[in-house]
Chains A and B, each alone.
Chain A
């Protein structure tokens, strides 16, 4: 594929979206290149999780304006499953439980769907087991995870590890981690962030959606964006996150109000 700027993984321009006819995203601009890690921060209700879900194609959200180009193609034209197969991965803030469906079955189906997409042969259960066990070591996961129902009765930390395991299996071009740090104790946070760091490379890109800067002590972002009322209101480097930590989100809002002369 010929692209003007082949470095760009994701280009969001003027993105607007509503849920139940209430506008949540009010014009988002964001450019993400290969090898970059972007952190999107903001208060509750600022729209950061909505942005994650809109990019993944959640049905409850309606895009009312703007464009999203992913790897040179119009992402908004694709169904959620096609976006996933094209390489957009969302680590859920609240991973869904699917009782009675073995985790190994679910993971294998997801992985084989991707292989089929790439024109590769599917792995049978035994081949897959070897493959997935290697990936699980990365996240210090007990092999009995495979036999349990998908997220069924998992602790918060186990659910988040299971999300990152799926990221490891599916090797997305763009991984969006939606508050992956929430509900994690210190050890789990270390394991999960180590896993993410090992998965980050020059060819993929990561968007971290987070409320707190503590995750950014482990995963160092190239850019930090602050969202407020459905817009990115400030962009900076890692130091911006530290400044937010000490001065609070009010500081950004206050600065904006001052700039606007309110």
Chain B
């Protein structure tokens, strides 16, 4: 690989700073006492403690999955602190009361809070470590009956809804990390769009991991009732640390008849340094249940961060004519590893799914697409189209595609296309010969490659994603 390409892809992480806020951290280690402590700290009802303990007991009997291509040292689950919260001075009534240090952190990250949020028309439910600090636009959303709050708050304010849906899409024993999350999740987002309501704005949450060695176990639950629709944005950055941090989130989506949920993610957690030291382990379970007739669930993700990304945002297409979509860009550099893709499970008649995956590998990284398309005997007329493209930057990286296709209904139609390409000297030379420098060329090539995914993102996110890939692969001016 040429020196130019090397320099372009070796940009240091731009969000590597630590905010000095007094944290309330639980002692390291995991046992029933830890879980009771979390539950007590959060003043939770008995049923939720039972949910957690049930998950914990399942987890004890489970084994860490080893089937992916990702490689990492064994995780010591007893060396992790499972609860960490910034200590509020008092109950916060407005943004003015938020710790100024915290606000400065948001500013450094460019989080569009308060006025900026108002201008952009985005409601930001900010998660700082594990406790929600502020929620904006709640009032306006409440007017149309939308509930958008932290899941802890929802447990207290809307216990019946939480209890009705929590763990119904991702059961507590679904997989090792989902079980762990169900046992120890500290906070996350809850969103409920009532019947017939189209959410008037994109809902957005910025996550930020801030305490060293505190595992992050976010829990998100989004429900769209009959005829409801919502677009939800999740954006993430994290400060620079040398110690690996485990992040095992669970996201559950439920779409009833004619409901539409669009979930977009831009993930830029600390990826480790150029030698592969440090970085976040991002082991996430995301699943949407297209429960109702004509319902639709769409995942769009731009994954650029984390030392290891291991996730498969999936759709269970239960309702007749329901639609599942997965649009993904995964960028890996240095020693990053990504094993990501989706599962489309067709259960209902005439269900349709689309998969568009773009993997970009640079440096010594490994980037795998792994996807399952399953058509059940009940899914007459099901259709799937998959397109998986990989792009290699340099000679030391790798890209893999693992498509799994299981069809049990002869009326189903499944298509799969795949390609691999390389940003080579010849492409850069072509641009150069037209007077266009390498940085701009790489940016254009990458954005062209990712176009089908970026155009699925909400406008502001698309701009952010383009910039992020710029940081990641070409460096910024100055």
Binding site for B on A (CB under 8 A): 56-60, 79-81, 83-85, 89-90, 92, 95-96, 98-101, 105-106, 109-110, 113-114, 117, 149-150, 166, 170
The residue among B427, B431, B433, B450 with the most chain A CB atoms within 10 A of its own CB is B433
Binding site for A on B (CB under 8 A): 2, 421, 425-427, 429-437, 440, 444-445, 447-452
In the bound complex, what is the Cα–Cα distance between A113 and B440 (angstroms)? 11
Smallest CB separation, A164 vs chain B (Å): 13
Complex contacts, B430 vs chain A, CB 8 Å: 92, 95-96, 98
Is the CB–CB distance between B449 and A100 below 8 Å?
A: yes
Complex contacts, A99 vs chain B, CB 8 Å: 421, 448-449
The 9 closest A-B pairs by CB, nearest first: A100-B448, A101-B448, A80-B432, A110-B434, A96-B430, A100-B451, A84-B435, A113-B435, A81-B432
Total contacts A to B, CB within 8 angstroms?
72
A106 partner, pick from B444, B451, B452, beta carbons under 8 A: B444
Is the CB–CB distance between A79 and B448 below 8 Å?
A: no
Complex contacts, A60 vs chain B, CB 8 Å: 425
Closest to A100 in B: B448
Closest to B454 in A: A100
Is the CB–CB distance between B427 and A96 below 8 Å?
A: yes
* 17 further contact pairs, Cβ within 8 A, besides A84-B432, A110-B435: A57-B432, A57-B433, A60-B425, A80-B429, A80-B432, A84-B435, A96-B426, A98-B427, A98-B430, A99-B421, A99-B449, A101-B445, A106-B444, A110-B434, A113-B435, A114-B435, A149-B448
Is the CB–CB distance between B445 and A98 below 8 Å?
A: yes
B433 partner, pick from A80, A100, A109, A117, beta carbons under 8 A: A80
Complex contacts, A83 vs chain B, CB 8 Å: 433
In the bound complex, what is the Cα–Cα distance between A114 and B437 (angstroms)? 12
Closest to A149 in B: B448
Smallest CB separation, B172 vs chain A (Å): 42
Is the CB–CB distance between B432 and A109 below 8 Å?
A: no
Complex contacts, B452 vs chain A, CB 8 Å: 100
- Supposing A59-B425, A98-B427 touch, asked if A110 and B436 sit within 8 A by C-beta, the answer is yes
Is the CB–CB distance between A170 and B448 below 8 Å?
A: no
Closest to A117 in B: B435
In the bound complex, what is the Cα–Cα distance between A237 and B421 (angstroms)? 44
Complex contacts, A92 vs chain B, CB 8 Å: 430, 433
Smallest CB separation, A40 vs chain B (Å): 18
Smallest CB separation, A242 vs chain B (Å): 32
In the bound complex, what is the Cα–Cα distance between A54 and B436 (angstroms)? 18
Complex contacts, A81 vs chain B, CB 8 Å: 431-433, 435-437
Complex contacts, B444 vs chain A, CB 8 Å: 98, 101, 105-106, 109
In the bound complex, what is the Cα–Cα distance between A164 and B219 (angstroms)? 57
In the bound complex, what is the Cα–Cα distance between A90 and B433 (angstroms)? 7
Closest to A150 in B: B448
Complex contacts, A110 vs chain B, CB 8 Å: 434-436
Closest to A166 in B: B434
Smallest CB separation, B84 vs chain A (Å): 42
Closest to B451 in A: A100
Is the CB–CB distance between B440 and A109 below 8 Å?
A: yes
Complex contacts, B432 vs chain A, CB 8 Å: 57, 79-81, 84
The residue among A81, A98, A99 with the most chain B CB atoms within 10 A of its own CB is A81
Closest to B452 in A: A100
In the bound complex, what is the Cα–Cα distance between A211 and B430 (angstroms)? 22
Is the CB–CB distance between A170 and B425 below 8 Å?
A: no
Smallest CB separation, A169 vs chain B (Å): 9
> Would you list 17 pairs from A and B whose C-beta atoms are within 8 A, ordered by A residue?
A57-B433, A79-B432, A80-B432, A81-B435, A84-B433, A85-B435, A89-B433, A98-B427, A101-B444, A105-B444, A109-B434, A110-B436, A113-B434, A150-B448, A166-B434, A170-B434, A170-B435
Complex contacts, B448 vs chain A, CB 8 Å: 98-101, 149-150
Complex contacts, B431 vs chain A, CB 8 Å: 81
Closest to B4 in A: A59
Is the CB–CB distance between B447 and A101 below 8 Å?
A: yes
The residue among B447, B448, B449 with the most chain A CB atoms within 10 A of its own CB is B448
Smallest CB separation, A120 vs chain B (Å): 14
In the bound complex, what is the Cα–Cα distance between A95 and B430 (angstroms)? 8
Is the CB–CB distance between B2 and A59 below 8 Å?
A: yes
Complex contacts, B437 vs chain A, CB 8 Å: 81
In the bound complex, what is the Cα–Cα distance between A58 and B448 (angstroms)? 23
Smallest CB separation, A210 vs chain B (Å): 19
Smallest CB separation, A115 vs chain B (Å): 10
Closest to B428 in A: A59
Smallest CB separation, A204 vs chain B (Å): 17
Complex contacts, A84 vs chain B, CB 8 Å: 432-435
In the bound complex, what is the Cα–Cα distance between A78 and B440 (angstroms)? 18
Smallest CB separation, B427 vs chain A (Å): 5
Smallest CB separation, B46 vs chain A (Å): 54
Complex contacts, A85 vs chain B, CB 8 Å: 435
In the bound complex, what is the Cα–Cα distance between A92 and B447 (angstroms)? 23
